[in-house]
């Protein structure tokens, strides 16, 4: 009953109200002369310095799904859940220079989305359209997953009812508020709220890893309890606190594939393009691995939940359980009510920041690469901004619909599928920043081959509740190998994508098929703040107040 959680509800509501007010106030924070421009509404004026970018990108990448689902996976499967830790470490060295090149060429030409860059680089509106659609499709379930985190908290506090409307009404209200201040303030809203979100997360996790082991008998007792659980109840031989021969390949390929996918997501790129200059990006890519330390501690909450004897709350369907509730239930059992309320607010606010950035990124893709390219080529900057605002609302409605009408567990599987999908843009976006060797038609055919194979492989993956699309671990036995090992679908699909793109490129080059005109120049990839060659309109309001680069 919600009355048993009254203190938690009050604390959660007050903090939620605080960030909502901040979201509306953000429209006046570092206010430009004219907000009716995608550079301002969708990229915060491209003026964020070191500290703002740190919190914005960190708040964008480490979502409510991370704080809820990663420890839930550790709770249910053990060591396999730690795949999220190495991939968030290796990704930053991988993209250190890549993102600087993307920022520079985007700053030089006024690109707002990765599809803008592909359109100019390869002179192909079709390829740009595929990149845009891929980004939107991969982002939608990611936004829905933020609702899973909020729903887990609300369910633990007892404020969700039994009927479909009662169960989802608090989430609908929360996202309506999010939609309102995102519509008004654009990227400035999540940028400002990210300060509060990260502060709460740091406090809650640090307190948890100090307080809970003392209450649970120390780390030795926690790991012993986890090992005993997996030995006694493991239905899957891959479950356990250590990896084994069967799941090591899946672990490595999932971690590496997820790393490659992370900064291909439109919302990740949006946070980077909002940075003020190249140095801001370099410093952030050097420092952001610090978040991975927190992520490792968050994952350990899964083992703490086992040692604490946490029982997940019932799922939406009779006879099922919702493992996403293990962390909120752990906090409810082990913390004083007031601090549990703070922890719930950290998770809830942790959902709002990335959800806002994701909806803005998806809206920018639609506006620049579908609306302006195919529906209204002469759209003014004000019209672009207005279309993006409206589209961001539609995207949020779609995300809520995913939770209302689909099984939330299916939405989580969709996130894994989203990684497979977004990886198919790697040849055009990431490799395109370094080389134009691939023929534009080769990239299109490669995308079709990789996407087709990826969807076929995902269709073959079964789970205890579904025959198809049950995850992203593809059994190698389906390829005729006599083994029980699995591999991450995304790695196989993008490898085929690259191979097909290369073969088609060789064939088209031999046939001397035209490759279009490269709209970029070599030195575009090294442009920096104050570059005199910046396209008019992309370095707007240069005399307005900007944050000093930290």
Which pLDDT value is given to residue 529? 86
Q: What is the mean pLDDT of the chain?
A: 87
Which of 27-31, 160-164, 266-270, 425-429 shows the lowest mean pLDDT across its residues? 160-164
Measured between alpha carbons, how far is residue 262 from residues 29, 66, 143 in Å?
29, 13, 15
DSSP labels, 57-119? HHHHHS-HHHHHHHHHHHHHHBGGGGGHHHHHHHHHHHHHHHHHHHHHHHHHHT--SHHHHHH
Collapsing DSSP to helix, strand or coil, 475 comes out as strand
* Percent with pLDDT over 70 in the chain: 92
- Of all residues in the chain, what percent are helix, strand and coil, respectively (each to 5)? 75, 5, 25
Which pLDDT value is given to residue 413? 67
| pLDDT of 282 strictly over 50 | yes
Q: What is the mean pLDDT of residues 535-543?
A: 45
Which pLDDT value is given to residue 94? 87
Which pLDDT value is given to residue 493? 97
**Is 405 within the bounds of a domain?**
yes
What is the pLDDT confidence band of residue 142, given thresholds at 50, 70 and 90?
Answer: confident
Which pLDDT value is given to residue 547? 41
d(CA 526, CA 505): 27
- Residues 398, 175 contacting (CB under 8 angstroms): no
**Is 337 within the bounds of a domain?**
yes
Which pLDDT value is given to residue 383? 93
What is the pLDDT confidence band of residue 545, given thresholds at 50, 70 and 90?
Answer: very low
Higher pLDDT among residues 166 and 344, named by residue: 344
Tokens of 214: 């003392």
Measured between alpha carbons, how far is residue 358 from residues 144, 268, 270, 498 in Å?
10, 8, 9, 27
pLDDT tens digits for 25-56?
Answer: 887 887 777 778 888 899 888 889 989 999 88
Q: What is the CATH number of the domain that holds 143?
A: 1.20.1730.10
Q: How many CB atoms lie within 10 A of CB 382?
A: 13
Q: What total number of domains does the chain contain? A: 1
Range(s) of the domain holding residue 148: 2-22+49-436
**Is 293 within the bounds of a domain?**
yes
Q: What is the mean pLDDT of residues 476-490?
A: 89
User: Any idea which residue has 């887990």 for tokens?
Assistant: 152
**Is 464 within the bounds of a domain?**
no
Of 243, 240, 227, 249, which Cα lies nearest the Cα of 484? 249
What is the pLDDT confidence band of residue 259, given thresholds at 50, 70 and 90?
Answer: very high
- Provide φ and ψ at 159, rounded to 5°: -100, 5
**Is 230 within the bounds of a domain?**
yes
Of 148, 152, 78, which Cα lies nearest the Cα of 409? 148
Which pLDDT value is given to residue 429? 97
**Is 349 within the bounds of a domain?**
yes
Which pLDDT value is given to residue 544? 38
**Is 483 within the bounds of a domain?**
no
- Provide φ and ψ at 397, rounded to 5°: -60, -40
- Residues 324, 69 contacting (CB under 8 angstroms): yes
Collapsing DSSP to helix, strand or coil, 197 comes out as helix
**Is 305 within the bounds of a domain?**
yes
pLDDT tens digits for 372-424?
Answer: 999 999 999 999 999 999 999 888 887 777 666 666 555 566 677 889 999 99
Q: What is the mean pLDDT of residues 229-250?
A: 83
């Amino acid at each position: 009953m919600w009355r048993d959680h009254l203190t938690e509800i009050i604390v959660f509501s007050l903090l939620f109200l605080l960030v909502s007010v901040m979201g509306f106030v953000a429209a006046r924070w570092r206010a430009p002369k004219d907000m009716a421009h995608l550079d301002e509404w969708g990229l915060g004026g491209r003026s964020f310095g070191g500290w703002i970018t740190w919190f914005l990108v960190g708040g964008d990448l480490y979502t409510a799904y991370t704080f809820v689902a990663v420890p839930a996976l550790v709770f249910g499967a053990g060591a396999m859940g730690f795949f999220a830790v190495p991939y968030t470490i290796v990704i930053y060295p991988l993209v250190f220079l890549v993102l600087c090149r993307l920022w520079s060429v985007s700053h030089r030409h006024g690109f707002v989305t990765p599809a803008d860059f592909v359109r100019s680089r390869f002179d192909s509106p079709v390829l740009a359209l595929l990149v845009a659609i891929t980004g939107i499709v991969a982002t939608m379930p990611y936004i829905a997953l933020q609702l899973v985190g909020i729903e887990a908290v609300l369910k633990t506090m007892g404020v969700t009812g039994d009927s479909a409307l009662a169960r989802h009404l608090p989430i609908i209200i929360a996202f309506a508020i999010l939609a309102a201040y995102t519509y008004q303030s654009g990227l400035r809203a999540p940028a400002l709220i990210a300060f509060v979100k990260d502060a709460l997360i740091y406090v809650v996790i640090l307190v948890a890893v100090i307080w809970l082991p003392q209450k649970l008998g120390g780390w030795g007792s926690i790991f012993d309890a986890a090992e005993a659980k997996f030995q006694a109840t493991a239905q899957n031989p891959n479950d356990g606190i250590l990896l084994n021969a069967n799941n090591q390949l899946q672990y490595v390929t999932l971690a590496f594939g997820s790393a490659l996918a992370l900064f291909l997501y439109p919302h990740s790129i949006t946070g980077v393009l909002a940075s003020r200059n190249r140095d801001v990006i370099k410093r952030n890519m050097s420092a952001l691995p610090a978040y991975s330390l927190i992520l490792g501690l968050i994952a350990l909450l899964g083992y703490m939940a086992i040692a604490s004897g946490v029982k997940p709350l019932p799922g939406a369907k009779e006879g099922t359980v919702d493992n996403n509730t293990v962390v909120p239930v752990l906090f409810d059992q082990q913390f004083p009510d007031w601090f549990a309320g703070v922890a719930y607010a950290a998770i809830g606010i942790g959902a709002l920041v990335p959800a806002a950035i994701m909806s803005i990124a998806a809206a920018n893709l639609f506006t620049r690469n579908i609306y302006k390219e195919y529906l209204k080529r002469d759209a003014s900057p004000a019209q672009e901004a207005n279309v993006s605002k409206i589209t961001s609302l539609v995207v949020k409605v779609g995300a809520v619909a995913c939770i209302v009408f689909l099984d939330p567990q299916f939405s989580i599987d969709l996130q894994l599928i989203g990684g497979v999908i977004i990886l198919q843009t790697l040849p055009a976006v990431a490799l395109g920043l370094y080389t134009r060797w691939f023929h534009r038609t080769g990239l299109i055919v490669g995308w079709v081959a990789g996407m087709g194979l990826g969807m076929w492989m995902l269709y073959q993956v079964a789970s205890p509740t579904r025959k198809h699309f049950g995850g992203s671990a593809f059994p190698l036995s389906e390829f005729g190998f006599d083994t029980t090992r699995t591999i991450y679908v995304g790695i196989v699909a993008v490898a085929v994508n690259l191979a097909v793109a290369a073969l088609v490129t060789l064939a088209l080059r031999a046939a001397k098929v035209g490759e279009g005109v490269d709209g970029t120049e070599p030195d575009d990839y090294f442009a920096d703040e104050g570059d005199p060659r910046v396209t008019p309109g992309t370095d707007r309001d240069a005399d307005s107040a900007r944050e000093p680069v930290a």
